[in-house]
């Protein structure tokens, strides 16, 4: 795995099937390993399928964050889904051989959909932006708007 470049994409689909289809139409032309999607359209409560990708998500009242991984990436890595709060998805990605980032065989990938609910944010910044002892990539729709 040493020297392999990982590629990531992220997008808020705003519950639109057209946006979801467009997103995967764009990434299919690139070697995108992980696609973090927020507010995706659901079919009978489940995320849609994407050709060449497998979807990772936590069951809950409504699935709002998912990570699709390319089926090609499984040759060199494995991963574990770490349970988190609603609207946050955290994967620990492990190199089967060698390193992923710097000297680390581990990379964290966090997908966040911070939305307004009940007069506040669903994901407090301290939940996501904490000190980690391994390289971690945080992506998603943070909705950090100012008045």
The CATH number of residue 22's host domain is 3.60.10.10
Let me know if residue 146 belongs to a domain: no
Q: What are the distances in angstroms from CA 117 to CA 80, 98, 100, 113, 114? A: 29, 43, 37, 12, 9
Mean pLDDT of 42-49: 94
Predicted pLDDT at 5: 66
Domain count, the chain: 1
Choice between 132 and 92, residue whose per-residue pLDDT is larger: 92
Let me know if residue 113 belongs to a domain: yes
pLDDT at residue 146 greater than cutoff 70: no
Q: Is residue 23 very low, low, confident or very high in pLDDT (cuts 50, 70, 90)?
A: very high
Let me know if residue 93 belongs to a domain: yes
Mean pLDDT of 87-107: 87
The answer to whether 139 and 111 are in contact (CB under 8 A) is yes
Mean pLDDT of 36-51: 95
Let me know if residue 47 belongs to a domain: yes
Of the listed ranges 12-16, 48-52, 72-76, 125-129, the one predicted with least confidence:
125-129
Instruction: Look over the chain and give the mean of its residue pLDDT values, rounded to a whole number.
Output: 88
| Phi-psi map region of 47: left, alpha, beta (phi>0 left; psi -120 to 50 alpha) | beta
What proportion of the chain, given as a percentage, has pLDDT over 70? 94
Choice between 133 and 20, residue whose per-residue pLDDT is larger: 20
Let me know if residue 131 belongs to a domain: yes
Identify the domain containing residue 23 by its residue range: 8-141
Let me know if residue 48 belongs to a domain: yes
pLDDT at residue 115 greater than cutoff 80: yes
Mean pLDDT of 33-45: 95
Let me know if residue 72 belongs to a domain: yes
Let me know if residue 17 belongs to a domain: yes
Distance CA 75, CA 55 (A): 17
């Amino acid at each position: 795995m040493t020297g392999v470049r990982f590629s990531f994409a992220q997008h808020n689909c705003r519950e639109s099937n057209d946006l979801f289809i467009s997103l995967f139409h764009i990434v299919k032309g690139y070697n995108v390993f992980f696609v973090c999607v927020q507010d995706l359209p659901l079919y009978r409560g489940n995320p849609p399928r994407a050709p060449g990708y497998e979807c990772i998500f936590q069951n809950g009242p409504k699935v709002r964050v998912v990570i699709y991984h390319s089926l090609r990436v499984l040759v060199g890595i494995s991963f574990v889904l770490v349970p988190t709060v609603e609207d946050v998805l955290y994967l620990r990605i492990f190199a089967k051989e060698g390193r992923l980032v710097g000297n680390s065989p581990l990379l964290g990938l966090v997908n966040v959909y911070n939305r307004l609910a009940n007069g506040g944010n669903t994901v407090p910044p301290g939940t996501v932006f904490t000190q980690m002892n391994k390289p971690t990539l945080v992506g998603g729709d943070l909705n950090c708007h100012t008045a």
